[in-house]
Amino acid sequence: MLTSIVTDEPSPSEGLPRHVQDQIGARLNELIPSVDTVDADTRLGRVLLRLRAALLDAEAERQITKAFGDELIAVVPRLRRFALLRTGNAAEADDMVQATLMRAWEHRSQFRTGTNLVAWLFTILRNIHLNQRKRFRREVEDVDGVIAGSVSAPPEQEHRVALAELQFALNDLPPEQRETLLLVMVDGLLHTEAAMVLGCQVGTVKSRVSRARERLALALGLSG
């Protein structure tokens, strides 16, 4: 069971100037745009409608709190982005999110108020993905090799080249640094939450993010 940790926002960086960190963050968010809503006409959208109804019933029967249901629904777009980043396929990503929600619903009694729901859900989704990769005998290192395919609008040629350079630099990172960087800078997890998901120390998360940013800054020619 995940336990809550008092530490909130990560401290400012370890090495790179703040404006360089901000440039890297902005480029990552441009390469990997966020999705704020889930289309109600999709299969995942229909699953969410049924889940909302089930959550209301469970709340009325005092099986869960209203906060649990609200936060579970609110984090779905972030889960979908997490899944899409790692699959590069919208249908596969939706299937992963649906499986995550089903598992969270089945094990809702195991969740304790006050623990970290976001980290719990991301851990479930990550484990589902890793198990799928093992089942199909794919390399975990390749999970982020199709990020550029998720860009929502076709950029201009110069812009496309810049995005391709960033994609290449990401792919060149050690797998553990890349995944940790994405969890913190793209998926929006706090260092403490990423540590829970990855099963490592907070200091390890900070170190990986710092090293990954430094490698990206060097590869992209960003200087202090």
pLDDT, tens digit, for every residue of 13-68? 457 888 888 888 888 888 777 777 788 888 888 989 999 999 999 999 988 889 89
Q: Taking residues 183-190, what's their average pLDDT?
A: 92
Domain 36-150 has CATH 1.10.1740.10: yes
Q: Which residue has the tokens 């990997």?
A: 32
pLDDT at 5 over 70: no
Q: What is the pLDDT of residue 224?
A: 58
Q: Quick check: 128 and 149 in contact, CB under 8 A?
A: no
CATH 1.10.10.10 maps onto the chain at: 1-33+156-224
Structure tokens at 21: 């960190």
Structure tokens at 14: 């370890």
A 10 A CB-CB count for 103 gives 15
Geometric angle at alpha carbon 118, from 29 and 127, rounded to 5°: 90
CATH 1.10.1740.10 maps onto the chain at: 36-150
Architecture of the 1-33+156-224 domain: Orthogonal Bundle (1.10)
Q: How confident is the model at residue 205 (pLDDT cuts 50, 70, 90)?
A: very high
Q: Quick check: 219 and 24 in contact, CB under 8 A?
A: no
More confident residue, 207 or 154: 207
Q: How confident is the model at residue 102 (pLDDT cuts 50, 70, 90)?
A: very high
Structure tokens at 110: 């195991």
